[in-house]
């Protein structure tokens, strides 16, 4: 029987895959495996994730009788059988849990470069003292002994045609299902004749985590001349199925001269039916997902602008009707040359088929009603990670697994297919306003930190580029693993540096060209968490969104703006008025707050200047674009707002 399965798998491979012009070592793995399964539908992958054959599970919402539990187990030499994940069928999908708490979120040190191409990242040789070649071959040899699931998909938007494959052990079919939800999949019968491996290959081999890497997350990126190969040695999909594919897109962009921005994008429709597209970038925690989230209200309908951390004083705003939101992208958006028109505005398309939504903020029923409703009663079964679940029960977004007694996992997730997102827009969209989010700590006389940003800053294009080079992680960022230090850390160029495999300077040049080539897209800077001594959460972002949409752009008359006391912060609106209500001055002139003052502001300014100087010097290398060099040197020499504006003299100000 085993021989028959192997012969059938090989026959299917020869008749259906030989035309795809795969690399020889990929052909060797697929032809050597005892069986190959290629999904025809999403339901196939969900069935296989539970260790079942296709069509044997009743996926209708509310099925109370199926209490299926499947363990993803691998035989590890020297360690016996190890359970990497437990997959539980819920009434509303699959709940994936990892027995090892360290596998429940992305390790920031997971990426290793396995090739000899130019890079600023740690290489396999540097980290482990040997070339990757031997481990690479051992991985391919191990995969040839496994029953495999093979998922063809496109990296990025389908229309760009960057073909990719995921090759996953059958025992980890849940990983293939998560990848298909995140990146899409090409059904077995619909693989086109012109499918080419221009995106990359993702190989998954969990046992090597124990035999080669002391139980740690390691994802090795092995770049080829035409594509990238990713060797994932753990089953948490964050650094591989999610950010690994992002890495493929960044590599393609390096070769072709474009990039994939780390951003959310949303079309904001005012009560007067005017539409403004806002693209929001930033480090993890910088408010990307929040840009597509509805504004939060108090029980009586008012908006809580902020609460003073010292006096507990509150400032509120009445906003009878908020703008309507049409989400475009959640985390990754391609700015491919084929999408750009002649409008002078940046044009983006969502690079994902599903959104990897973190729900750690949902701690009780009713926190985010729209998302909770979508997850509890979905039109199709969903994939949940790091959630507590009783077999056969309903997976609830506010019931998170615990890393230890009384310590909830900080990274509960749900994979939300794009077609389930309410009012989502498809296709490329032109960006009117490009914003950057910064997490800021409470800043006052008793805590003199760097939270001196006002509710909204208008930036000259050259200064907007500098913010994307330094990309501050900021206050209480959930992805910082190192220390409790209150000093700023950088997420790296573009805020996507953690996923890039090449050189910083190449990404810096791509971002600069992108800004220079799109003069009609305006630039703003928005804080979250705190404005001086005021706790604001993400309300500053939501208010800025409402305000900019009502104005129709971020182009102001010079008489409407003040220069920020710190030139790195550009300009500040003299006033922000929404539906007849003025935003209190304390949220615009932070240096005038009673709990701080100019001395506290200037100390925060000093911290920002030191941070920029430290981060920018590493970009002063021979291959930096000459214009970029002028901008960085101007910053290091203490440039003022007008100096930045003249370096890239876009029509930032409205004509008088």
The pLDDT tens digits for 396-434 are: 999 999 999 999 998 999 999 999 998 999 999 999 999
pTM over 0.95: no
pLDDT tens-place string over residues 175-187: 999 999 999 999 9
**Residue 138 host element (H or E):** helix 133-143
Question: Which of helix, strand or coil describes residue 315?
Answer: strand
pLDDT at 485: 53
pLDDT at residue 16, as a whole number: 61
Q: Convert the pLDDT of each residue in 345-394 to its tens digit.
A: 999 999 999 999 988 888 888 888 888 999 999 999 999 999 999 998 99
In this model, does residue 196 exceed pLDDT 50?
yes
Q: Assign 261 to helix, strand or coil.
A: strand
Band of pLDDT at residue 546, cut at 50, 70 and 90 = very high
Residue 646 has pLDDT above 70, yes or no: yes
Residue for token pair 């006391």: 565
Whether the pLDDT of residue 650 is over 90: the answer is no
Give the residues across from 279 on adjacent strands. Answer: 265, 434
CA distance 234 to 103: 8
Residue (of 542, 530, 562) closest to 641 by Cα position: 562
Determine the pLDDT at residue 477: 59
Looking at residue 91, its pLDDT comes to 93
pLDDT value of position 6: 37
Percent of the chain topping pLDDT 90:
81
CA-based Rg of the chain, rounded to a whole angstrom? 25
Q: What pLDDT score was predicted for residue 275?
A: 95
148-167: per-residue pLDDT in tens?
999 999 999 999 999 999 99
Q: Could you report the per-residue pLDDT of 547-568, keeping only the tens digit for each?
A: 999 988 778 888 999 999 999 9
3-state secondary structure of 582: strand
Whether the Cβ atoms of residue 199 and residue 252 lie closer than 8 Å to each other? yes
Rounded to the nearest integer, the mean pLDDT of the chain is: 92
In the Cβ-directed half-sphere of 335, how many Cα atoms lie within 13 Å? 24
Q: Return the SS3 of 368.
A: coil
Residue 509: Cβ-neighbour burial (10 angstroms; 0-12, 13-18, 19+)? buried
Residue 654 scores a pLDDT above 70: no
| Each residue's pLDDT tens digit, 20-78 | 778 999 999 999 999 999 999 999 999 999 999 999 998 888 777 888 999 999 999 98
Q: Flag whether pLDDT at 514 surpasses 60.
A: yes
Give the chain's domains with CATH numbers.
2-37+105-256 (3.40.449), 434-647 (3.90.228.20)
| pLDDT given at position 433 | 96
Looking at residue 285, its pLDDT comes to 83
Q: What is the tens place of the pLDDT at every residue in 451-491?
A: 999 999 999 999 999 999 999 987 765 544 444 455 788 99
């Amino acid at each position: 029987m085993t021989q028959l399965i192997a012969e059938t798998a090989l026959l299917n491979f020869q008749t259906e895959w030989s035309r795809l012009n795969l690399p020889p070592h990929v052909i060797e793995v697929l032809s050597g495996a005892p069986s190959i399964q290629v999904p025809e539908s999403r339901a196939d992958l969900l069935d296989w994730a539970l260790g079942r054959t296709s069509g044997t599970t009743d996926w209708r919402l509310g099925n109370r009788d199926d209490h299926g539990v499947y363990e993803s187990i691998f035989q590890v030499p020297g360690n016996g059988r190890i359970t990497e994940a437990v997959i539980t069928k819920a009434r509303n999908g699959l709940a994936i849990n990892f027995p090892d708490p360290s596998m429940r979120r992305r390790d920031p040190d997971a990426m290793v470069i396995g090739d000899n191409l130019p890079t600023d990242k740690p290489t396999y040789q540097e980290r482990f003292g040997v070339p990757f070649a031997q481990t690479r071959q051992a991985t391919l040899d191990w995969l040839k002994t496994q029953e495999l699931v093979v998922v063809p998909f496109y990296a990025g938007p389908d229309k760009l045609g960057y073909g990719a494959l995921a090759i996953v052990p059958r025992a980890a079919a849940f990983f293939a299902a998560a990848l298909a939800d995140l990146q899409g999949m090409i059904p077995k019968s619909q693989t086109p004749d012109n499918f080419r491996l221009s995106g990359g290959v993702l190989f998954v081999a969990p046992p090597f985590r124990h035999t080669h890497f002391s139980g740690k997350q390691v994802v090795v990126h092995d770049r080829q001349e035409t594509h990238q190969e990713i060797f994932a040695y753990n089953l948490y999909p964050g650094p591989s199925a999610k950010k690994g594919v992002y890495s493929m897109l960044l590599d393609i962009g390096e070769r072709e001269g474009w990039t994939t921005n780390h951003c959310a994008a949303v079309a904001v429709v005012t009560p007067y039916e005017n539409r403004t597209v806002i693209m929001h970038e930033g480090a993890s925690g910088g408010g990307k997902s929040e840009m597509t989230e509805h504004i939060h209200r108090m029980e009586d309908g008012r908006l809580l602008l902020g609460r003073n951390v010292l006096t507990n004083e509150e400032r509120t705003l009445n906003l009878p009707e908020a703008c309507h939101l049409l989400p475009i992208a959640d985390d990754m958006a391609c700015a491919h040359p084929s999408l750009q028109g002649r409008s002078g505005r940046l044009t983006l398309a969502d690079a994902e088929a599903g959104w990897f939504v973190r729900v750690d903020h949902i701690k009780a029923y009713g926190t985010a009603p729209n998302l909770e409703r979508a997850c509890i009663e979905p039109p199709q079964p969903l994939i949940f990670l790091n959630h507590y679940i009783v077999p056969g029960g309903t997976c609830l977004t506010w019931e998170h697994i615990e890393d230890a007694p009384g310590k909830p996992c900080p990274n509960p997730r749900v994979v939300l297919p794009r077609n389930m997102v309410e009012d989502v827009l498809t296709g490329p969209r032109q960006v009117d306003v490009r914003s950057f989010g910064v997490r800021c700590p409470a800043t006052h006389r008793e805590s003199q930190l760097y939270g001196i940003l006002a509710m909204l800053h208008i930036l000259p294009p050259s200064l907007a580029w500098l913010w994307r080079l330094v990309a501050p992680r900021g206050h209480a960022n959930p992805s910082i693993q190192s220390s409790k230090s209150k000093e700023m850390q950088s997420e790296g160029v573009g805020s996507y540096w953690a996923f890039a495999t090449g050189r910083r300077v190449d990404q810096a040049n791509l971002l600069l060209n992108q800004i220079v080539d799109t003069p009609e897209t305006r630039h703003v800077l928005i804080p979250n968490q705190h404005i001086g001594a005021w706790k604001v959460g993400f309300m500053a972002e939501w208010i800025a969104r409402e305000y900019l949409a009502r104005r129709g752009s971020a182009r102001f008359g010079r008489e409407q703006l003040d220069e920020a006391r710190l030139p790195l912060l550009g300009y500040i609106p003299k006033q922000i008025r929404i539906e007849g209500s003025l935003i209190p001055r304390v949220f615009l002139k932070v240096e005038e707050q009673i709990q701080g003052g100019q001395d506290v502001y200037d100390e925060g300014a000093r911290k920002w200047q030191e941070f920029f100087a430290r981060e920018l010097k590493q970009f002063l290398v021979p291959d930096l674009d000459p214009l970029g060099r002028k901008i960085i040197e101007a910053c290091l020499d203490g440039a003022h707002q007008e100096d930045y504006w003249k370096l890239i003299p876009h029509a930032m100000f409205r004509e008088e």
